Amino acid sequence: MKDNNKHQNKTVCITGAGGGIGRAIAIEMNKEGYNVACADTNLDGLNQTIQLLSNEKSEAIALKTDVSNVLDIKKMVNEVVKTFNSLDVMVNNAGVTRAAKIEDLNEKDWNWIFDVNAKGTFFCMQEAAKQMIKQKTGGRIINMSSNGAKGFVDVSNAIYAASKGSVISMTKTAAQQLGKYGITVNSICPGVTLTDILEKIIKTRATEQNKTRKQVLEHYLRNVPTGLANDPKEIALMVLFLSSKGGRNISGQSYNIDGGAVTN
């Protein structure tokens, strides 16, 4: 039997929630009592995420969504509001990349990466903002960028860096334009983070360089002053903070979580 009080909880929508950082965010937000809408193209991954959510005082739904498709984004936000009656926090986490040298990238890579990382982030942000303005209760929008956008030397590729740089730029402008509605907009710039995407990149680099996984990871971490890779939970906790009362008046910022690898 459903607890009708669950619908009184605040609601967060997280793209790219089928694994990695998105899954970690879903878990931490669920622990804090948020209703969680998990969106991804990977429905199996989404269902696995949902099964990991343990707070019985809130609810969660899985939404198969391709953020490179604006119609899918509109359907996602409509379904969130239909289910939970509100959208209070939007986390634009979905992203793609591949390990490639600048001379090996092509137009297909450009379109694929920008369609998800830049176009997807913008239109998710736009649809979320429209709903938050309509609710008249403010809101939080958190966009996932990367320290690669700020010059991290071991970024996966140049197109990815450019797409994530655009996320930082649109975050700043959105923060300036949406502040009057009580909506804050920030971005997070993770560094080396232990996710499936990183594992694929490490595998590619290891094959190219005839090295072991350990050697490639050590190579990445040589440029991280703390010498530590992020656990996805550490990114999730920053999302949690920016969504909390402590983040009420923080907007237009981009936060590095990378052990000091970049400092701008």
Kindly report whether the global pTM for this prediction surpasses the value 0.85: yes
- For 240-259, letters b (16+ CB in 10 Å) and e give bebbeeebeeebbbbbbbbb
Check: CB of residue 120 under 8 Å from CB of residue 15.
yes
Q: Which two tokens stand for residue 251?
A: 């907007």
Provide the 8-state DSSP code for 235. Answer: H
Q: What is the pLDDT along the chain (264 residues), one digit of tens a residue?
A: 345 555 569 999 999 999 999 999 999 999 999 999 999 999 999 999 999 998 989 999 999 999 999 999 999 999 999 999 999 999 999 999 999 999 999 999 999 999 999 999 999 999 999 999 999 999 999 999 999 999 999 999 999 999 999 999 999 999 999 999 999 999 999 999 999 888 988 898 899 899 999 998 998 899 999 999 999 999 999 999 999 999 999 999 999 999 999 999
Domain 8-192+232-256, CATH: 3.40.50.720
- Of 34, 160, 181, 220, the catalytic one is 160
Query: What order of strands is seen across the sheet that includes strand 11-15?
Result: 60-64, 35-40, 11-15, 89-92, 139-144, 183-190, 254-257
Can you give the pLDDT at residue 2? 47
Residue whose structure tokens are 């890779």? 229
SS3 143: strand
Q: Which two tokens stand for residue 97?
A: 């990349």
Annotation says 160 is catalytic: yes
CA dihedral of residues 134, 169, 180, 6 (deg, nearest 10): 40
Q: By C-alpha distance, which of 129, 179, 171 is closest to 149? A: 171
